Amino acid sequence: MVVTRVNANGLQMKVVEEGNGPAVLFLHGFPETSYSWRHQLRALAVAGYRAIAPDLRGYGGTASPPEQEAYSAFDGVGDIVGLLDALAIDKAVLVGNDWGSTLAWTAALIRPDRIRGVAAIGVPYMEPAPMPPSRFFPQNEDALFYTLYFQQQGVAEAEFEGDIALTLRKILFAASFDAGPRIPGDGTPNPFSMVSRRDGLLGPLPDPEKLPDWLSEADLQNYVAAFTASGFRGPLNYYRNLDANWRLQRAFAGRRVEVPAMYMVGEQDVGLSIPGMREIIAGMKDNVPGLIRSVLIEECGHWAPQEQPEQVSDTLLAFLGELKDLP
């Protein structure tokens, strides 16, 4: 793998790539970096593709703009287009997980001229809600939804940066298949649900005695080094732009994602516990007419590219093969 620094959309971006051939651009989620795609980069390079994974703005080795408003999904699309320009790539297939899926869907919606296809993991395509997200996320006297907990500058940063290794160990474990079955209401730890006003997000999460099989100590330390360098302010600012994204997306109301697409999700992905999420997934083809397939990955949580790397890579390669046959 080759690690470079690329000037794209006014940012210095860390970019990892491997292989030659048609371009496939991988977009990570929270709290991850380009390292989360290590298995797919190798598998696609071997299969004859140019596999590229940047650290997104605010993460790891990529610059972190100081302004909170610089982290909208539309700024992220600008980074995608700028990176393609910098690498002299006309079109690419986008592969996203978590926040990376949101960016991939948004790019396909507003810049289909640069996108050959989208493969989204975890986060389905969703129409804009009837009101700003901050108005319908739940909260009560004791707890608030995690996206609301992330809104106030400095609060989640202080909690997460107090012990970065502990933060990542807890979050990565709690959202993985290894943490146990997701049965709504059974109290299974979920870092992306309600947050205690008293104990914060990390307090109720277990600190695993051993790391999951898919995450070695060396893997964890790679993430720790990245977030030690960047901190959490930039990554959390993505959540602080949810209402701004909603306002901007209204300009594209009624527009559909027309490029070829596929979706996959782990059977124990914490996102499936959000009310209405399964219905959104089931009806996604109404707004993504080019959706080729949806795949449920067994024995898998939120970190599918790392938890089930072979299945994710094989599914991506099958999708890429189908794209070759399309006009």
pLDDT at 121: 98
Structure confidence by residue, pLDDT tens digits, 14-57: 999 999 999 999 999 999 999 999 999 999 999 999 999 999 99
Annotated catalytic residue 302: yes
Catalytic one among 55, 79, 98, 178? 98
pLDDT at 185 over 60: no
DSSP labels, 267-300? TT-GGGGSTTHHHHHHTGGGT-TTEEEEEEESS-
Structure confidence by residue, pLDDT tens digits, 234-288: 999 999 999 999 999 989 988 999 999 999 999 999 999 888 899 999 999 999 9
pLDDT at 142: 95
Two tokens at 42? 């190798």
pLDDT at 325: 73
Contact 63, 5 (CB under 8 A): no
pLDDT at 290 over 90: yes
pTM of the model: 0.97
pLDDT at 119: 98
The class (CATH top level) of 2-324 is alpha beta
pLDDT at 129: 86
φ/ψ of 216, rounded to 5, equals: -80, 170
Percent over 70 (pLDDT), the chain: 98
Annotated catalytic residue 98: yes
Average pLDDT, the chain: 95
pLDDT at 187: 65
Catalytic one among 28, 75, 219, 302? 302
**Boundaries of every domain in the chain:** 2-324
pLDDT at 324: 81
pLDDT at 183: 65
Helical H segments across 216-287, by residue range = 217-230, 233-239, 242-249, 277-282
Cis preceding linkage at 138, omega within 30? no
pLDDT grade for 186, boundaries at 50, 70 and 90 = low
Contact 189, 204 (CB under 8 A): yes
Q: Which of 102-111, 122-131, 298-307 has the lowest mean pLDDT?
A: 122-131
pLDDT at 128 over 90: no
pLDDT at 169: 98
pLDDT grade for 60, boundaries at 50, 70 and 90 = very high
pLDDT at 184 over 90: no
Percent over 90 (pLDDT), the chain: 91
Contact 114, 86 (CB under 8 A): no
pLDDT at 73 over 60: yes
Q: What is the mean pLDDT of residues 96-100?
A: 98
